Amino acid sequence: MLEDTRTIVSTCWLNDHLNGPDIRVVDGSWYLPDAGRDVKAEYAACHIPGAMFFDIDRVADLDSPLPHMAPAPGQFAAQMEKLGIGGTHRVVAYDSAGVFSAARVWWLFRLAGHEAVAVLDGGLKKWIADGFTTAQSNPVNQQCSMPVRQQADLVRTMEQVDRYRKDGDVQIVDARPAARFAGVSPEPRAGLRSGHIPGSLNLPYTKLLNPDGTFKPRNQLKHELVAAGVSLDRPVVTTCGSGVTAAMVNLALEIMGHRDHALYDGSWAEWGAFGPEVAPGES
Instruction: Select which of 12, 46, 144, 240 is catalytic.
Output: 240
What is the Cα–Cα distance from 129 to 275, expressed in whole angstroms? 43
Residue 144 near residue 81 (C-beta atoms within 8 A): yes
Q: Is 46 labeled as catalytic in the residue annotation?
A: no
Q: What's the first-to-final CA gap in the chain, in angstroms? A: 43
Q: Which residues of 151-161 are buried (b: 16+ CB within 10 A; e: fewer)?
A: eeebbbebeeb
| Residue 50, Ramachandran bin (φ over 0: left; ψ between -120 and 50: alpha; else beta) | left
- According to DSSP, the residues that pair with 279 across neighbouring strands are 196
> Per DSSP, what are the bridge partners of residue 264?
156
As a 3-state breakdown, the chain gives helix, strand, coil percent values, each rounded to 5, of 35, 15, 50
**CA–CA gap between residue 181 and residue 241 (Å, rounded):** 10
- Residues classed as catalytic: 240
